[in-house]
Amino acid sequence: MLTILFVRWSIGYICQMQFLQKIKDFYIFSNIHVALAGFCMAKISLLKFENSSYKMPVFIALSIVVSYNFIRFYEIKTSRLIWLKTWFYEFKKSLIVLSAFSTLGIWYILGFTNFNFNSLIILIPFALITFFYVVPVYKNEKIEVSFRNFPSIKIFSIAISWAAICVLFALDEANIALDKNVWIEFVQRFFILIAITLPFDIRDVNYDSKKLKTLPHVLGVKTSKQFGLILLIIFVLLTFFKENYLISEVYINIIVSIITGCFLWFSSAEKSRYYTSFWVEAIPVFWLFLIVLF
């Protein structure tokens, strides 16, 4: 009798763990987690300039869900990651539903809130950079003109797009003047986003096509890590060039840089996919937590 109960409990426990694993994987690989990171990045910008609005962080998060899932739909056939293909086709309908609801959320914000449409001027060029990185500008049987053809452009296009959207776009929509402090914040965000993105390129160094010429391919893994650490030092030092900077901001930037640097330094192609897709992606969440706390 005890044996039967134990077997039943074991089967129930295993089924429960498998269910929780599927929920975790959907949260991460449907880009909800990266959308949360985008929400936090935008919220950080607004809080630094004394604005408590949630409209733009939510808008950016929903836009990330739609755009990143569009990229996944477009690129999945050429992906070298068998596990990702298997997961994608299992949850394809759920991704479509999630993207549809996110699109409705975007439509609501644009149509039923006091959205500053003039700020979209800032968004357009960086949206085009992202779009044409995925979709070739021109393609035929013999030639393909794409942003991918330019060495190491991937990481810089990601960083500058995120920095522009989460700093310039978010602040301009909130009618905050793009003054010296805003531009310094933009440059800082660009640098730390490169450092945050590097572990992803290091993780994929054995899977990415060498035609992409990511920094780990061009510089090597160790040199790429050193480059990222230098950017983090510059990220902290730039704080002192802001007018009326707060000492709390200096401390927070140092803490975030140390955490980012540790994740970068210990990243490798052998690390679990959750190392980057969950933990590294969660750095903006921790960053926002520190700002709210202090």
CB atoms within 10 A of CB 222: 11
Each residue's pLDDT tens digit, 67-88: 999 888 877 776 666 777 888 8
CB 125 within 8 A of CB 152: no
For the cut 50, the answer to whether the pLDDT of residue 7 exceeds it is: no
Each residue's pLDDT tens digit, 146-201: 666 666 687 898 899 999 999 999 999 999 999 999 999 999 999 999 999 999 99
3-state helix, strand, coil in the chain (%, to 5): 80, 0, 20
Each residue's pLDDT tens digit, 263-277: 999 999 999 889 999
* Residue type (1 letter), 282: A
Q: What are the boundaries of each domain within the chain? A: 27-293
In percent, the amount of the chain with pLDDT more than 70 equals: 84
Confidence label for 97 from pLDDT (cuts 50, 70 and 90): very high
For the cut 90, the answer to whether the pLDDT of residue 57 exceeds it is: yes
Confidence label for 66 from pLDDT (cuts 50, 70 and 90): very high
Each residue's pLDDT tens digit, 199-250: 999 998 887 666 667 899 889 999 999 999 999 999 999 999 999 999 999 9
Average pLDDT, rounded, for the chain: 88
What is the rounded distance in angstroms from the CA atom of residue 294 to the CA atom of residue 278?
Answer: 24
Long-range Cβ contact pairs of 224-231 (< 8 A, separation 24 or more):
224/198, 225/198, 225/264, 225/265, 225/267, 227/198, 228/194, 228/195, 228/198, 228/261, 228/264, 229/195, 229/261, 229/264, 229/265, 231/191, 231/192, 231/194, 231/195
**Nearest residue to 53 (alpha-carbon basis) of 63, 74, 39:** 39
CB 33 within 8 A of CB 282: yes
